[in-house]
Amino acid sequence: MARQVDVADLVDRARRREPRAVARLISLVEDASPQLREAAAALAPHGGRAQVIGLTGSPGVGKSTTTSALVAAYRALGKRVGVLAIDPSSPFSGGALLGDRIRMQEHATDPDVFIRSMATRGHLGGMAWATPQALRVLDAAGFDVVLIETVGVGQSEVEVVALADTTIVLLAPGMGDGIQAAKAGILEIADVFVVNKADRDGADTTVRELKYMISLGRREIRGASWRQPIVKTVAARLEGIADVVEAIDTHRTWMAEHGELEERRAVRARTEIEAIAVESLRAKLADVHGDALEGLAKRVMAGEVDPYTAADSLIESIQAST
Amino acid sequence: MARQVDVADLVDRARRREPRAVARLISLVEDASPQLREAAAALAPHGGRAQVIGLTGSPGVGKSTTTSALVAAYRALGKRVGVLAIDPSSPFSGGALLGDRIRMQEHATDPDVFIRSMATRGHLGGMAWATPQALRVLDAAGFDVVLIETVGVGQSEVEVVALADTTIVLLAPGMGDGIQAAKAGILEIADVFVVNKADRDGADTTVRELKYMISLGRREIRGASWRQPIVKTVAARLEGIADVVEAIDTHRTWMAEHGELEERRAVRARTEIEAIAVESLRAKLADVHGDALEGLAKRVMAGEVDPYTAADSLIESIQAST
């Protein structure tokens, strides 16, 4: 498990665009390898170039199909494209069930496309911790565009795609998706809305609902308001994909004009640093103080002590031990 | 915002089953009020009685309808029932869009039912932090059964319902829900599977897929294996709900026989303590060291320092300041 790898060599090879080296570095992130620290140091000078696009939506709206269509569109523009598809950790997801990844296989033999379905270990904040680091690998490896796709509509997933330069929220007609999206808190992170499967009944209703919801919650950033566009697509037939790319470009230009790109990247860096710091503190709590925690949990269960007092004891014990 | 409340009085009134006092205490949790510490101390001796049932599944499978049907079933057994419906934080979800909560309104005038749609502030681990504390309020207020319903299929949502004594995973025919569920990592947290909308085409296929997936991933706990039952329901017509209640009871008996109930509650207490401790450390990072973090983020963006080294500096600064 804890196989030592030559990290400096891996980073060199990743920068020379060897897919296997890129894959190995991302595995270090997934495994939360102790060697990540060394990798991060070697990667640090080589970042900041990739355009990062987040894509999310409820199950069944066509995220993988849309991602695949966007990969093709960016390839046609001569860009190298990396894809991080984030799956919550599942012992079941080891390959066999990743059926919709198959649609991506048209890109499998293209050396300028790198697709990775990434699982994170089941700790809280796992994806917020791992995604920026995986992104850093692809960035240093010279991918011009990195697409981050999250399955699900959960809190962590929303937070992760919100770290992108531009976040696309995908909906599809029917199933009250507009409402579902609103419940999941993804409306406010969208820079671009895509209503996929727009050839189906109800597409216009979805667009109308969405317009109404946008009108309720318009974001104001530094006095300037970005008007979230709604793009209709049929991703399976590549319809509307050029419009999505254009909407992303328009948003990028708008961000540059309003200092927003710099601001978002600062937020991403802060989130990354904070997630690493919190995880490192959490590891201390768990590893060094597992027994203490066990004892405190028993006392909380018995009603002898409240969880805040128990948490204080835990914190005191790590501070005493460093 | 930071209105002082008489916490001891609130706790007394909650224990005398005043719904408004219960609601106020849960608001303290949502707001991450500084008074929570005092509330936790007052609540601590009065917990451990409620039976906690988690319910999750993809959007559209009928979670609210099923929850409502379960509330009716437990009321018929004379139990007092609390419901925590967990929504990821959304400025849009302030009431107007909670349309499916309306289905719960049949219970709105029942003093022995308390339903709360709970939003958490948008910090990582927000729900894992807040849910056990809200649960503690309902437990102390004498609810016999607490249902935790999560919308979405995300990592945090999965982690939250997994804290229940018994976790129900809901599916519905069509849309490849079985596969979607597997991707979201919810199969392995299910104690009971419910295939809702079982009158629809494809219900038998969903059951078959599920049986196959269960056969791949059977959990072994302490040498004894719990065989996850699959119950078919049409919750909107209350069909199969008695079978769900029976499956929950059977699971509860099994847990008691195998020491698993005690074990799960210990995990819940550890998670709660750890989440409070980590959040408290995170607050120190953010509040006391906001400027330091800002500066470190700039250096990380410039490639001058890697995020691990930046995280180390941050941790050193909180340890130096305490």
SS (H, E, C) A6-39: CHHHHHHHHHCCCHHHHHHHHHHHHCCCCCHHHH
Query: In what order do the strands lie in the sheet containing A81-87?
Result: A113-119, A81-87, A145-150, A51-57, A166-171, A192-195, A230-232
CB nearest A298 (choices: B133, B180, B266): B266
The answer, yes or no, to whether residue A98 has pLDDT greater than 50, is: no
Give the pLDDT of residue A288: 65
Q: What percent of chain A has pLDDT over 70?
A: 80
ipTM of the complex: 0.82
Are A172 and A196 in contact, with CB atoms under 8 Å apart?
A: yes
* Strands of the sheet with B230-232, listed across from one edge: B113-119, B81-87, B145-150, B51-56, B166-171, B192-195, B230-232
> Could you tell me if B320 lies within 8 Å of chain A, comparing CB atoms?
no
The CATH homologous superfamily to which domain A47-258 belongs is P-loop containing nucleotide triphosphate hydrolases (3.40.50.300)
**pLDDT value, residue A213:** 77
- Residue A57's Cβ-count burial label (10 Å; 0-12, 13-18, 19+) is buried
Low-confidence ranges of chain B (pLDDT < 70): 1-3, 87-106, 120-126, 151-156, 175-186, 217-224, 288-289, 319-322
Determine whether the interchain pair B151/A180 forms a contact, defined as Cβ–Cβ distance below 8 Å. Answer: yes
CB-based burial label for B266 (10 Å; 0-12, 13-18, 19+): middle
Q: State how far the Cα of B275 lies from the Cα of A135, in Å rounded to an integer.
A: 27
Measured between CB atoms, does A48 come within 8 Å of chain B? yes
Q: Which residues of chain B lie closer than 8 angstroms to A48, CB-CB?
A: 301, 303
| CA pair distance A30, A126, nearest whole angstrom | 9
Tokens of B85: 């419906």
Cβ under 8 Å to B: A residues 228-257: none
Question: Given this model, what pLDDT does residue B94 score?
Answer: 33
A175 touches chain B (CB under 8 A): yes
Residue B234: what pLDDT? Answer: 97
Quote the CA–CA distance of B212 and A316 in Å, as a whole number. 48
Q: How does residue A174 score in pLDDT terms, banded at 50, 70 and 90?
A: confident
Check if the beta carbon of residue A142 is closer than 8 Å to that of residue A17.
Answer: yes
What is the reported pLDDT for A60? 75
DSSP H helices, chain B, are 7-15, 19-30, 36-43, 63-76, 126-140, 155-161, 177-183, 203-217, 241-257, 260-283, 290-301, 307-321
Tell if the CB–CB gap between A187 and B90 is shorter than 8 Å.
Answer: yes
Q: With contacts defined as CB-CB under 8 Å, which chain A residues touch B15? A: none
Torsion of CA B136, B142, B143, B148, to 10 degrees: 0
Residue the block writes with tokens 């991602």? A67
Q: How confident is the model at residue A204 (pLDDT cuts 50, 70, 90)?
A: very high
Number of A–B residue contacts, CB under 8 Å: 304
Output the pLDDT for position B124.
Answer: 46
State the Cα–Cα distance between residues A187 and A183, nearest whole angstrom: 9
Q: For residue A114, name the pLDDT band (cuts at 50, 70, 90).
A: very high
Residues 6 or more apart whose Cβ sits within 8 Å of residue A137: A14, A22, A25, A26, A29, A39, A43
Nearest CA distance, B17 vs chain A (angstrom): 20
Averaged over A177-191, what is the pLDDT?
63
Residues whose CB is less than 8 angstroms from the CB of residue A204 and which lie 6 or more positions away in sequence, other chains included: none
Mean pLDDT of the region A180-193: 70
Q: Can you give the length of chain A in residues?
A: 322
Q: How much is the average pLDDT of A40-45?
A: 94
Task: Evaluate whether B276 touches A307 at the Cβ level (below 8 Å).
Answer: yes
Contact (Cβ atoms closer than 8 angstroms) between residue B28 and residue B137: no
A124·B127 Cβ contact <8 A: no
- Which of A84, A54, A52, A65 has the alpha carbon at shortest distance from A172? A65
- pLDDT for A275: 85
- Best A64, A287, A300 member to test B by mutation, with max B CBs in 10 Å, is A300
pLDDT digits (tens, 9 = 90+) for A206-243: 898 888 877 776 555 555 688 889 999 999 999 999 99
Question: How many residues can be counted in chain B?
Answer: 322
Q: Is residue A192 within 8 Å of A247, Cβ to Cβ?
A: yes
Confirm if B39 and B141 have CB atoms less than 8 A apart.
Answer: no
Q: Where are the domains of chain A?
A: 47-258, 275-321
Residue A94 pLDDT more than 50? Answer: no
What pLDDT does B2 receive? 53
Report the pLDDT value the prediction gives residue B97, as an integer from 0 to 100. Answer: 35
